[in-house]
A = this chain, B = another copy of it.
Amino acid sequence: MAKFTKTDHCINCLDCNKNLPLLQLLSPSELEELNASRFEVKFKAGETIFKQGTSATHLLILTSGLAKFYVEGVQEKQLIIKIIKPWEIVGQASLYFDNRHHYSVAALVDCTACFIEIESFKKMIRQNSDFAEEFIKKCTQKGIYSFEKMVSLSQKQMHGRIADGLLYLSDRIYESDSFLLHLSRQDIADLTGMSKDSAIRILKEFHHEGIIELDGRKLNIINSEQLERISETG
């Protein structure tokens, strides 16, 4: 009988605090408890991890891979709020509201997902105030990011929005000026709130102007200062 390995990316939550600073605030026994409630599932690229509207019983932490976090808006359109990468806690919006997912999460590449039971997480919040405070910190920071995103979506025109999207990907997700894009053109459009055709056009324009180099999904940001300028002027 094959040994049941919870994962090949992290042995257990006690080990995991290397990657997740928040967990360093928990005591060994608390970590043990969290570890007991968790389990891992592998997802293939394209598969849905959370589906908007279904009941939320667990928080999600990717231990490998990349996913999109999006809301299903009007007329089948998706709005990608953010890209999820490993070690970010996903699902706090559902912690206390109505136990429903108000967004969907889908794998952009093959992912390993660690699920943590909401109730044990809530228990940690209640019994460990350092943990609670650090968690509040994360929640409030996400609020500020939301404001920036709203400004981008509602006040900038397409060039500014694409610039914002590219800077977001390079600064916060890939942390490099040169990377292999895991998002389709449609995903880029959904991230920046425009049609796929328009997104393609602006990307091509940036390419022709020498601001970026884009060959299929190989993206190289050549002039990030100019992207910043375009982002600021809208």
Q: Nearest residue in B to A132 (C-beta to C-beta)? A: B132
A154-B193, A155-B79, A156-B74 are contacts. A136–B132 as well, Cβ < 8 Å? yes
Let me know if A19 is at the binding interface, CB within 8 A: no
Task: Name the distance in Å between A80's Cβ and chain B's nearest Cβ.
Answer: 10
Chain A residues 142-166 with CB under 8 Å of chain B are: 142-144, 146-147, 149-151, 153-156, 160
A residues 121-155 near B (Cβ < 8 Å) are 122, 125-127, 129-130, 132-133, 135-137, 139-144, 146-147, 149-151, 153-155
Inter-chain contact A154/B153, CB cutoff 8 Å: yes
Within 8 Å CB of A133, what residues of B? 96, 122, 125-126, 132
Most buried by B among A79, A95, A140: A140
Q: Which residues of chain B are within 8 angstroms of A9 by Cβ–Cβ distance?
A: none
Residue A77 at the B interface, CB < 8 A?
A: yes
Q: How far is the CA of A132 from the CA of B132 in the complex (A)?
A: 7
The docked-state distance in angstroms from the alpha carbon of A142 to that of B92 is: 11
A4 at the interface (CB under 8 A from B): no
Smallest CB gap from A72: residue in B:
B151
* Cα distance, A182 to B192, chains bound together (Å): 32
Alpha-carbon gap, A17 to B81, bound state (A): 36
* Cβ A92 vs Cβ B150 within 8 A: no
Question: Quick check: is A71 within 8 A (CB to CB) of the other chain?
Answer: yes
Interface presence of A75 (CB below 8 A): yes
Decide if A73 is an interface residue (CB 8 Å cutoff).
yes
Chain B residue numbers with a CB within 8 Å of A119 are none
A129 touches B125 (CB 8 A): yes
A154 to B71, CA, bound (A): 12
**Pair B147/A103 contact, Cβ less than 8 Å:** yes
A5 at the interface (CB under 8 A from B): no
In the bound assembly, the distance between CA atoms of A140 and B143 in angstroms comes to: 9
CB distance from A144 to the nearest CB of B (A): 5
Is A205 at the interface (CB under 8 A from chain B)?
no
Given contacts A74-B160, A81-B147, A125-B129, 14 further A-B contacts (CB under 8 A): A73-B151, A73-B155, A74-B234, A93-B140, A95-B140, A96-B137, A96-B140, A96-B141, A102-B144, A103-B147, A132-B132, A136-B136, A139-B143, A150-B150
